[in-house]
Chain A
Amino acid sequence: MGLFLVINATYGQVINKVPLSERITGYKMDVKLDTDAKTVSGNMEAFWVNKSTDMVPDIRMHLYMNAFRSNKTTFYTESGKSSWEISPGNKDQDLGWIEIKSFEDKNGTDLIPRMEYISPDDRNKEDRTVLKVMLPEPAKPGDTVFVKIKFKTKLPSHIRRTGYNDDYYFVAQWFPKFGVYEPAGMRYVSMGGWNCHQFHANSEFYSNHSVYDVTITLPANYVVGSGGMLISETINGEMKTQVLRAEDIVDFAWTAWPGYAVFKDKWKNVNIALLIPKDRVKQVERQFTAVKNALEYLDKNVGPYPWPHLTFVDPPSKGEGACGMEYTTLFTSGSSYFMPSFMHIPEMVTIHEFGHAYFMGILASNEFEEPWLDEGVNSFLEERIMDHYYGNNSGRIDHPLFKVSDVTLIRLSYTMFPTKQAVSNAEYSWNYPHGTYYMMSYFKTATWLHSLMGIVGEVTINDIFREYYRKWAFKHPSGKDFVNVVNEVVKKEHGEEFGLDMNWFFNQTLYGTGICDYKVSDIRNRKYQEPQGKIESADSINNIWLKTDSLFTATAQLERIGEVMLPVDVLIHFSNGDEVLEKWDGKERYKDFEYTGYREIKWVKIDPEFKIRMDVNYINNSMTTEPQKAPLHRLANKILSFIQLYLSIILL
């Protein structure tokens, strides 16, 4: 009966008219928040459908909250050096864990004896974030495995995405959650199996799109925000119960705090709710503007946002550990009471985190194994949205005296990183060495995607994303699938202008470790030399201009310093005002463009429009025979005056 109710509920439609995904998994939970014990406990009924042609002997579930059990878990042993990073704390109230109190199948068979904690990634015996449960009978193709679990989750005191602080709760990664069973042929899999990784310090998640029916009971004075739609709320004395439903999302998280003020707005048919600390009311308008900008841009350039509801949270300072995280129809931003309007940091966080509704929410890539496919792609869209709505030069900071674009900051976060060649983009998230996770997965990816846009054009890049969405929405695309979409669209729109496919690009940027750096080595203007000595055949120029002494052989000498070879434009400006735009495939180590005529080369610019954002040094991209020193001298003079002013103020 339970099975029937759960499956019926999760296949039925409440929010959208038709299911958006296959719904391989589904969850029905009834839980209670104990604000004294800092626990969430209750019952869960869930199912997993074997859509493969395999006989599957077990199921695997994530028990993420066990990452906070001790300082010996994989999550903590991989973390940084500060005290809160190396340990969840010493006291019982600091720790986080999840306890399975009972675990039954559809027949009521106790599965607890069949449970085993496994550590597929690092064999860490102290890590209990992955649970393997042998089924009494292997699941046949098409079978639905139904489980009923009674669990208790203790939240950690130091919020790292999830946890509590005082009366603030952010409840994420909190329930037993199925891994993803990948049949042969899916992504990179040659043999069917569970993809269920441990909880790593530098990693996010991977799940099937599911339906969630969640009932939460908690003190009545708490304001709740979640990724679900509120179906009903009943108040019983000092407690209240909310019934929530979410369809076709990859994770369900919620937050509760008495201090939230709730604001509502609407974009097209999407009802947007913002939960924000009461004293941050001044930030409300800019937050709504940001999220509506993101909705508009992604709707136009990628695909529709398919849910009629969206909740976002601006956590208070005591919940700042929950800032900047995404749960598809719920995400967290980050601002503060005093956030000057010229600093677009809250907007950036909001736009980035909302973007994840697409890149891993709708296009549910494996964040464990290919973090670039969600974080990098999303950062690329983020920088475009920021600079589109907040100014090309002022996407991130827009002060009359100082402006910085989002594109610039993302590029610099890559180009200035000392170990940017340590590893390729195509690594598991926890395998990025020397602290390169963020640089690689976010910034390098966004930078090479921008370079790709520079090569194929903005129209094509938008078409690529629209096609990627059309083809892979509510599925699990891999990097290979994204590359295939790029190849298809580029070929369709540009023929073989860039070769048979774009693999040459991805081999260097996504899979390679090289850097891109083009340089103008020299400009040489030599007076044309009259032929002397024994000349057998005089060319036409010799014949015509033999005695002319204002004829020049002008050469622009270019060099490829980096390993990455990308096609670039070269703009050459001559003394008579002529300009020539050359196309260079960027492959040779050294390249000369030579011209003979009544003109000298005045300046040369490689990539004059800064399309190739991967180029790690723009300074050497240009050269002139008449350097303009005025801007540098102006800067030096200003520094001089500012220091004098400072000294006149600071010295008594």
Chain B
Amino acid sequence: MKIFSSLKSGFSRALKSRKGVLIVWFSLFILVLVFIYPLRGSLNSAFGRSMITEKLADGFDIEVFADLGSTLKSLMSFFTAGFLCVYFTGFIMNAFLTAGLFGSVKKENGKFSAQEFFRSASKNFWSFLIITLIIDVIIYFYSGLFLGVPIVIVELSETISEKTAFTIVIFAIVFSILLLPVFLLVADYARAWKSANENESGFKAIGVGFSHIFKNFWPSYIMMILLILAQVVLGIFIILILSVWKPVTGGGVFLLLIISQLMLYARLLLKTWRYASVTSLMERMQTVDTADL
């Protein structure tokens, strides 16, 4: 019951914060566009007036790009460096923007205010950065541990059968995936709590995050699984649309851009639903704790 009421409340809060989500979407869009625009220009220039791009009408064709030769190497270097820049900038930007989102979803009946969004974002930026950095490090560490170790064991073993090796690796992957929601919950609880307690430190918030999840494990975990599933379904849908749809006219390409951006906005809305639901669940837990007192 607690799960569904939190999900319901979270959904309503996320919808109310749609303008905040729009700010997040627009920021990410501009960030990636700044990287993609020169890439598009480079591609235009590399192919010039060639008709080889006809071969791309049915989708990606490795031969078309491979023939770029040294230009391809330059493009790949540009892509790699640009992508890393986008990732790190996005990481920092995300800390700022999620601080704003958590600020705007913390009150059930409040209206969205851009002023409040940016105030909360700037107030909690450093703490959110620390929280996401630490949780990311933990996720990377355990992924390396739970995925890397079995893979190394399987690789080194000369007597293990391939079926067993495959089973071990699949088990490791499934285990890591099942563990992921726990750390997402820690991050979300920590940020929700920090948002409600702005004068507390980010480190303390992580501790609170851990304590909240263990205090209320199953409802939190099940709710997170449901929320992740919704995001995964939409994510797969977006990937399918992007992969299958191959418009060949300028108008079609523009329509693809619009639709894909709408879907990406929807995905960010679902992510905000996650933040809001966890915030709502935390608020309920705190209410129960206060009542117990």
Binding site for B on A (CB under 8 A): 165-166, 277-280, 316-318, 336-338, 400-404, 408, 411-412, 415-416, 603, 605, 616-625, 627-645, 647-652
- Structural contact, B64 and A647, CB atoms closer than 8 A: no
Question: In angstroms, how far is the closest chain B Cβ from the Cβ of A555?
Answer: 15
What chain B residues lie within 8 Å of A401 (beta carbons)?
59, 243-244
Given contacts A316-B162, A603-B51, A621-B52, contact A648 B268 (CB under 8 A): yes
Q: Count A/B pairs, Cβ under 8 Å.
A: 180
Q: How many positions in chain B have a CB within 8 Å of any CB in the partner chain?
A: 71
- Structural contact, A645 and B267, CB atoms closer than 8 A: yes
Question: In angstroms, how far is the closest chain A Cβ from the Cβ of B101?
Answer: 12
The complex places the Cα of A28 from the Cα of B47 at a distance, in Å, of 63
B49-84 near A? 1/0 per residue, CB < 8 Å = 111111011011011101111000000000000010
What chain A residues lie within 8 Å of B132 (beta carbons)?
651-652
Most chain B Cβ neighbours within 10 Å, of A415, A631, A636, A642: A631
- Structural contact, B56 and A632, CB atoms closer than 8 A: yes
What chain A residues lie within 8 Å of B57 (beta carbons)?
631
The complex places the Cα of A647 from the Cα of B271 at a distance, in Å, of 12
- Structural contact, A337 and B239, CB atoms closer than 8 A: no
What chain B residues lie within 8 Å of A638 (beta carbons)?
242, 256, 260
Q: Does B40 contact A (CB under 8 A)?
A: yes
Pick out which of these stretches binds chain A: B25-33, B108-116, B195-203, B216-224. B25-33
What chain A residues lie within 8 Å of B56 (beta carbons)?
631-632, 634-635
- Structural contact, B271 and A648, CB atoms closer than 8 A: yes
Specify which of A403, A415, A636, A647 is in contact with B40 (CB 8 Å cutoff): A636
Given contacts A166-B158, A619-B50, contact A641 B86 (CB under 8 A): no
Pick out which of these stretches binds chain A: B8-16, B87-95, B117-125, B284-292. B87-95
- Structural contact, A624 and B51, CB atoms closer than 8 A: yes
Per the 8 Å Cβ criterion, residues 183-240 of B in contact with A are 184, 187, 231, 235, 238-239
Q: List 9 A–B pairs whose Cβ atoms lie within 8 Å, in order of A's numbering.
A: A166-B159, A279-B162, A337-B165, A631-B53, A636-B43, A645-B238, A645-B239, A648-B271, A649-B235
Chain B contact residues, majority secondary structure? helix
What chain B residues lie within 8 Å of A277 (beta carbons)?
161-162
What chain A residues lie within 8 Å of B252 (beta carbons)?
630, 634
- Structural contact, B44 and A629, CB atoms closer than 8 A: yes
Question: In angstroms, how far is the closest chain B Cβ from the Cβ of A621?
Answer: 7
The complex places the Cα of A634 from the Cα of B53 at a distance, in Å, of 11
B36 closest partner in A (C-beta): A640
- Structural contact, A648 and B267, CB atoms closer than 8 A: yes
Question: In angstroms, how far is the closest chain B Cβ from the Cβ of A616?
Answer: 8
- Structural contact, B28 and A415, CB atoms closer than 8 A: no
Given contacts A632-B40, A641-B238, contact A279 B69 (CB under 8 A): no
What chain B residues lie within 8 Å of A404 (beta carbons)?
62
The complex places the Cα of A627 from the Cα of B46 at a distance, in Å, of 12
- Structural contact, B238 and A632, CB atoms closer than 8 A: no
Given contacts A633-B253, A643-B86, A644-B264, contact A651 B91 (CB under 8 A): yes
Question: In angstroms, how far is the closest chain A Cβ from the Cβ of B277?
Answer: 15
What chain A residues lie within 8 Å of B247 (beta carbons)?
630, 634
What chain B residues lie within 8 Å of A166 (beta carbons)?
158-159
- Structural contact, B33 and A627, CB atoms closer than 8 A: no
What chain B residues lie within 8 Å of A616 (beta carbons)?
67, 69
A610 closest partner in B (C-beta): B63
Per the 8 Å Cβ criterion, residues 165-186 of B in contact with A are 165-166, 184
A649 closest partner in B (C-beta): B235
Specify which of B33, B40, B52, B187 is in contact with A618 (CB 8 Å cutoff): B52
- Structural contact, B28 and A637, CB atoms closer than 8 A: no
Binding site for A on B (CB under 8 A): 28-29, 32-33, 35-36, 39-40, 43-44, 46-54, 56-57, 59-60, 62-64, 66-69, 83, 86-87, 90-91, 94, 98, 132, 135-136, 158-159, 161-163, 165-166, 184, 187, 231, 235, 238-239, 242-244, 246-250, 252-253, 256-257, 260-261, 264, 267-268, 271
B264 closest partner in A (C-beta): A644
Question: In angstroms, how far is the closest chain A Cβ from the Cβ of B190?
Answer: 10
Q: 3 shortest A-B CB distances, which residue pairs? A: A337-B162, A631-B56, A279-B163
A523 closest partner in B (C-beta): B49
What chain A residues lie within 8 Å of B242 (beta carbons)?
638, 641-642
The complex places the Cα of A640 from the Cα of B264 at a distance, in Å, of 11
The complex places the Cα of A644 from the Cα of B260 at a distance, in Å, of 10
The complex places the Cα of A640 from the Cα of B267 at a distance, in Å, of 15
- Structural contact, A336 and B162, CB atoms closer than 8 A: yes
- Structural contact, B256 and A338, CB atoms closer than 8 A: no
Beyond A317-B165, A621-B52, A647-B32, 15 additional pairs, beta carbon < 8 A: A165-B158, A402-B60, A411-B63, A616-B69, A619-B67, A623-B50, A624-B50, A628-B54, A629-B44, A629-B53, A635-B43, A635-B60, A645-B235, A648-B268, A651-B94
Question: In angstroms, how far is the closest chain B Cβ from the Cβ of A319?
Answer: 10
B271 closest partner in A (C-beta): A648
Specify which of A337, A634, A651 is in contact with B246 (CB 8 Å cutoff): A634
Given contacts A316-B162, A647-B32, contact A633 B62 (CB under 8 A): no
Question: In angstroms, how far is the closest chain A Cβ from the Cβ of B131?
Answer: 8
Given contacts A618-B63, A621-B52, A645-B239, contact A634 B253 (CB under 8 A): yes
- Structural contact, B32 and A632, CB atoms closer than 8 A: no
Given contacts A279-B162, A402-B60, A642-B242, contact A632 B49 (CB under 8 A): no
Question: In angstroms, how far is the closest chain A Cβ from the Cβ of B146?
Answer: 18
B63 closest partner in A (C-beta): A408
Given contacts A631-B248, A643-B36, contact A652 B48 (CB under 8 A): no
The complex places the Cα of A594 from the Cα of B231 at a distance, in Å, of 60
B56 closest partner in A (C-beta): A631
Question: In angstroms, how far is the closest chain B Cβ from the Cβ of A283?
Answer: 10
- Structural contact, B248 and A639, CB atoms closer than 8 A: no
Given contacts A631-B56, A632-B40, A635-B56, contact A652 B98 (CB under 8 A): yes
- Structural contact, A648 and B264, CB atoms closer than 8 A: yes
- Structural contact, A652 and B136, CB atoms closer than 8 A: yes
The complex places the Cα of A320 from the Cα of B63 at a distance, in Å, of 30
The complex places the Cα of A359 from the Cα of B182 at a distance, in Å, of 59
The complex places the Cα of A634 from the Cα of B259 at a distance, in Å, of 13
What chain A residues lie within 8 Å of B43 (beta carbons)?
632, 635-636
The complex places the Cα of A650 from the Cα of B63 at a distance, in Å, of 31
- Structural contact, B52 and A652, CB atoms closer than 8 A: no
The complex places the Cα of A402 from the Cα of B62 at a distance, in Å, of 9
Most chain B Cβ neighbours within 10 Å, of A616, A637, A641, A649: A641
What chain B residues lie within 8 Å of A620 (beta carbons)?
50
Given contacts A632-B44, A651-B91, A652-B98, contact A619 B32 (CB under 8 A): no
